[in-house]
Structure 1
């Protein structure tokens, strides 16, 4: 695509008050962004748009987008219009796809099947570890992990995918010339190096409250499904889950203690029809034939995880018969929280399995690893 064509996309994208839906209506009539910028009142009427948009388009047509084009000339910086071949195919299917995406990193990864993992910005330690381990395990199967770069569950999900050398996509709420939250500046840098950052927001856009729902529709829109790990009853993660349902995506939720306020959002989703998730296999089974691992990337990520010394010791304490968490606490001398967390990791890695009564048993792989 020529810079003149990109400039037209950028000007249309920056047209105040038009929005992604209005721009799509206009492009449906004109077929090209420059023609959309030049649309007369009759063309606007055919597109179902008010004549007042002509003034906005007049202003947009004179915008200086040289800084945007200079940004796109930098290594691994990309501008991806909705009609482009590098645009995420799943995102194009939603009713209001972004007109233009800014991207930093390997934009070919946007073609990978994605699972979104979202949740509280202030998770419990167990919630953070669940997000990390689910992401690490699922990314090792070839699924990309999408999230919103926020503190808490989002960050843990990105970290888990990076730890498995898998694919991760971070959807930002600001322009990509800044990082929000600032505490994730290093995480954003690492995602840009081995994954991809994307944003609908034009460069220079600061964070606003209204930016998060718009970002959330992209997180769910690029994904086959959304997994909610921990969320309060009133939570932005529930907005993402609602959008996923409206977009025809799968919604998954991990249940938790009835005493944990961050379990209430997940329990609400389950009551409303979300799939209850106990293991990563529950997600892979539900997605079924909707996804395929990309061999070149997945090959580096599918090496089996070997338990560390602490996990090997817990495997040894299990013996060869089904055992409860309470019995393992007594045998190991660890706290119930530590045992539960370690069992989650071992289960995701395929070293243990759950059986009736909430007990755990070593798998054949776990037997080999404890020898």
Structure 2
């Protein structure tokens, strides 16, 4: 039995956090050694009080087959388990104050990948959606992995935009075998299928709880060279992620918004506090000393009929199919459903949950 599974099983003891476990590991040769210790031996290591030593021993005795169960479950679900000592553990994540000792992941987690975190509001505007999709797609197309939390709203749009351009990593506040929110089940599968990864420090089967998400946020910022915030209210988890990035000396970027939108206040406060205001993905890529690959002009991809539709649409004001039809010549309206589908497949326009359409990016 590999030692990683004993460490994963030890961390399932709710009384022992990663800081105490790290101290304890420094005094022994392996996690398996800890698993077989008695109270006195644990206490003598100096990392745990007698109460905590007793709690850990009781956990190990009551769950004596847990390391084997974790190994079997992960193998069955094709979930990888890596520890902070493994060469495959993300290098930049090791540098944070409290790195997770164990990570579970599906897909490919490249240890030395260039990564940018992207977070934002669950309740977003069309402007925020457009910015998230455009920034994620163009940054990913330059070879940078987009990291986000797979939450509703901007996180989801960041992952979707990244999938159009390259790779993305979703960090969950639950087990990697749990789809949360449920409607993102297909998205999480697409992330893995596209060569990205779904990651968590929580064991398979762990249900999402509010207390898990602030801890999840430190992994998002910890995996990333910098964090971009797109729309955030004054108090939000996105700001917690940005604050964690700042505390680790990482870059923080913010997209400005409307002074009339509550979703812009958090970003504006970040900018006042020293976050870099960015208006284009190229500004972030320049900070990373990367060059954005040339992209074919949208207008070059349009048929004459599609060009009519494109002129009607904007980047931040979605229109329903009826509104589009009312603005077009009569000879085009019969083909509108097919034309809209073709333009979506080309990545020129996007459709939201209300079946309204907008341009995918500024042009």
User: TM-score range with shorter-chain normalisation?
Assistant: 0.7 to 0.9
**Separation of aligned partners in 2, 1:89 and 1:10:** 20
Q: State which drifts further: 52-61 or 191-200.
A: 52-61
Where does residue 24 of structure 2 map in the other structure? 26
State the Cα distance separating 1:50 from its structure 2 match.
1.8
Q: Under a length normalisation based on structure 2, what TM-score does the superposition of the two structures give?
A: 0.79
Question: Which one has a larger percent helix, Structure 1 or Structure 2?
Answer: 1
Are residues 1:87 and 2:89 paired?
yes
Deviations 1:290-349 (A, max 9, x none): xx79xxxxxxx9573441579899xx99xxxxxxxxxxxxxx66668459x759533xxx
Could you list the runs of 5+ residues in structure 1 that have no partner in the other structure?
Answer: 294-300, 318-331, 347-371
Q: Under a length normalisation based on structure 1, what TM-score does the superposition of the two structures give?
A: 0.78
Are residues 1:118 and 2:124 paired?
no
3-state SS of paired residue (1:150): coil
Q: Per the alignment, do residues 337 and 85 of structure 1 end up closer, same or farther by CA in structure 2, a change over 3 Å counting?
A: closer
Where does residue 244 of structure 1 map in the other structure? 245
**Separation of aligned partners in 2, 1:343 and 1:203:** 36
Deviations 1:71-93 (A, max 9, x none): 32247420011111111111111
3-state SS of paired residue (1:102): strand
State the Cα distance separating 1:51 from its structure 2 match.
2.3
Where does residue 180 of structure 1 map in the other structure? 180
Could you list the runs of 5+ residues in structure 2 that have no partner in the other structure?
Answer: 319-357
3-state SS of paired residue (1:104): strand
State the Cα distance separating 1:110 from its structure 2 match.
4.2
In the TM superposition, 1:103-182 aligns within 5 A as 103-107=105-109, 109-164=110-165, 166-182=166-182
3-state SS of paired residue (1:170): strand
RMSD across aligned positions (CA): 2.7
Where does residue 324 of structure 1 map in the other structure? none
**Separation of aligned partners in 1, 2:271 and 2:302:** 31
Contact 2:140–2:162 (8 Å) recurs in 1: yes
Where does residue 295 of structure 2 map in the other structure? 304
Where does residue 73 of structure 2 map in the other structure? 71
State the Cα distance separating 1:115 from its structure 2 match.
0.2
**Separation of aligned partners in 2, 1:6 and 1:70:** 13
State the Cα distance separating 1:43 from its structure 2 match.
5.3
State the Cα distance separating 1:287 from its structure 2 match.
3.0
3-state SS of paired residue (2:27): helix
Find the partner of 2:101 among 99, 117, 122: 99
**Separation of aligned partners in 1, 2:120 and 2:94:** 25
Contact 2:169–2:197 (8 Å) recurs in 1: yes
Where does residue 5 of structure 2 map in the other structure? 7
State the Cα distance separating 1:27 from its structure 2 match.
1.2
State the Cα distance separating 1:49 from its structure 2 match.
2.9
In the TM superposition, 1:31-42 aligns within 5 A as 31-37=29-35, 38=37, 41=40
State the Cα distance separating 1:20 from its structure 2 match.
1.2
Q: Per the alignment, do residues 309 and 259 of structure 1 end up closer, same or farther by CA in structure 2, a change over 3 Å counting?
A: farther
**Separation of aligned partners in 2, 1:142 and 1:276:** 22
